[in-house]
């Protein structure tokens, strides 16, 4: 009975002794706090450069010259050119329309007859005046006879001038029965047809020139600072101060480009949009593909050149006027900069950064000034 009690106690004691020995000889573990891993960020090393500023705008192409064909005489339309249709093309001096000239031919014949009669009377009055003046020198004609001959001569001279003017007018009216194109271009619309009687002064067609076209481009007043335009300049620009403009459009499945220049600014500012309108002129004679009237185009106006400018992606901007730079110890620092312009996906910085600064481009959500980072190339 005693053995049954003592033996388990003895075994338990031996086990406890062994456990104490093992615990006493176990190796000690010192606590080790791991250092935080620095955030990996993309950086770019900035270098100041000269930047050509541009202004982007849009507009529709308009003709430089557009006019209405108006007859100067009345008559019935007896012939029309095949080009006198909407979209028809014509050249300068081409006959577009003819009116019935029978009545005006009769007027010219009567004017010619009146002119011949006036010439005969003038010749006779001149001869009579010269004859009486010669007789007066020999005391064979009275003074009143000579004065009457002089008056008759002057009346005949005035009648001759009037008949000559009427004859010239009749010739001009007869020539105006043929209406010629004043320039080369296209027909926008026509308002007459064969057999129709047209009255003097009523328009018969609208035409426009295609050799030179214009585009009216709206520009925000803040963007005028990027162009080399005097602030008080209005109207036509001098040839030496006209900015170049590049026009682009997608037409007939192709991307087309035209070159021109800004020739004038409009005097008024649009009260609704607060825009200033400048007018670009394009000479189609210098283009590979003529610029069509009515086409909607994108315009890029070449402005002034800005020096010591740093270009960065717009994503590098933090807030309105700050960027993150990585210092020599690879720590993030906030830097306030001066913006010249936000343009498309770029930001142009004029002050606040120097050559060699490393600017962070990575979109970090939480930034603490001085936090360590691991920079890599952009």
- Closest C-alpha to 81, from 90, 69, 70: 90
What CATH code would you report for 103-169?
A: 1.10.287
Order of strands, sheet of 66-69, starting from the edge strand that comes earlier in the sequence:
66-69, 205-209, 185-190, 89-90
For domain 55-64+210-306, the CATH architecture is Beta Barrel (2.40)
Task: Look at residue 86 in the predicted model and tell me its pLDDT.
Answer: 92
Query: pLDDT 10s digit of each residue in the chain, 378 long?
Result: 566 667 677 777 777 777 776 677 766 656 666 666 788 888 888 889 988 888 899 999 999 999 999 999 999 999 999 999 999 999 999 999 999 999 999 999 999 999 999 999 999 988 988 888 887 777 777 788 888 888 998 999 999 999 999 999 999 999 999 999 999 999 999 999 999 999 999 999 999 999 999 999 999 878 888 887 766 666 788 887 888 999 999 988 889 999 999 998 887 787 788 888 899 999 999 888 899 999 999 999 998 888 988 989 888 888 888 888 888 888 888 989 988 888 888 889 888 888 988 988 888 888 888 888 888 876
Measured CA to CA, the distance from residue 95 to residue 74 in angstroms comes to 17
The encoded tokens of residue 188 equal 């926008």
Element (H, E) at 64: none
Domain extents in the chain: 42-49+307-377, 55-64+210-306, 71-100+177-202, 103-169
Contact residues for 63 (Cβ-Cβ < 8 A; gap 6+): 185, 208, 209, 210, 213, 214, 293
- Can you give the length of the chain in residues? 378
CA angle 23, 25, 27 (to 5 degrees): 95
Q: Topology of domain 42-49+307-377, per CATH? A: 2.40.420
CA angle 344, 349, 351 (to 5 degrees): 165
Task: Look at residue 321 in the predicted model and tell me its pLDDT.
Answer: 86
What CATH code would you report for 71-100+177-202?
A: 2.40.50.100
Q: Where are the beta strands (DSSP E) in 81-155?
A: 89-90, 95-99
User: DSSP assignment of 306-372, as one string?
Assistant: EEEEEEEEGGG-BTTTEEEEE-TTSBEEEEE-EEEEEETTEEEEEES--TTPEEE-S--SS--TT-B
């Amino acid at each position: 009975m005693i053995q049954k009690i003592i033996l388990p106690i003895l075994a338990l004691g031996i086990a406890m002794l062994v456990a104490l020995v093992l615990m006493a000889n176990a190796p000690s573990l010192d606590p080790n706090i791991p250092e935080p891993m620095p955030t990996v960020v993309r950086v770019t090393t900035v270098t100041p450069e000269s930047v050509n500023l541009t202004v982007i705008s849009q507009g529709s192409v308009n003709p430089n010259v557009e006019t209405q064909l108006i007859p100067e005489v009345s008559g019935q339309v007896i012939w029309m050119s095949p080009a006198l249709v909407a979209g028809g093309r014509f050249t300068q001096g081409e006959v577009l329309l003819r009116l019935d000239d029978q009545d005006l031919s009769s007027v010219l014949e009567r004017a010619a007859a009146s002119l011949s009669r006036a010439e005969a009377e003038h010749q006779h009055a001149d001869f009579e005046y010269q004859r009486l003046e010669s007789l007066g020198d020999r005391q064979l004609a009275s003074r009143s006879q000579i004065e009457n001959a002089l008056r008759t001569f002057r009346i005949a001279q005035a009648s001759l001038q009037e008949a000559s003017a009427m004859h010239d007018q009749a010739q001009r009216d007869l020539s105006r029965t043929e209406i010629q194109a004043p320039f080369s271009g296209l027909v926008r619309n026509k308002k007459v047809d064969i057999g129709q009687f047209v009255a003097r002064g009523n328009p018969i067609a609208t035409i426009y020139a295609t050799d030179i076209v214009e585009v009216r481009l709206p520009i925000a007043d803040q963007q005028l600072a990027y162009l080399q335009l005097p602030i008080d300049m209005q109207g036509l620009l001098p040839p030496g101060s006209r900015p170049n403009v590049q026009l682009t459009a997608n037409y007939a499945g192709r991307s087309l480009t035209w070159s021109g220049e800004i020739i004038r600014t409009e005097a008024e500012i649009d009260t609704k949009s607060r825009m200033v309108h400048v007018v670009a002129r394009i000479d189609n004679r210098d283009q590979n593909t003529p610029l069509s009237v009515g086409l909607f185009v994108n315009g890029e106006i070449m402005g002034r050149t800005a020096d010591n400018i740093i270009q960065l992606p717009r994503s590098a901007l933090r807030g309105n006027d700050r960027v993150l730079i990585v210092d020599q110890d690879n720590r993030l620092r906030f830097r306030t900069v001066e913006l010249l312009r936000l343009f498309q996906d770029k930001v142009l910085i004029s002050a606040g950064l120097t050559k060699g600064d490393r600017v962070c481009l990575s979109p970090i959500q939480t930034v603490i000034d001085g936090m360590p980072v691991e920079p890599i190339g952009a």
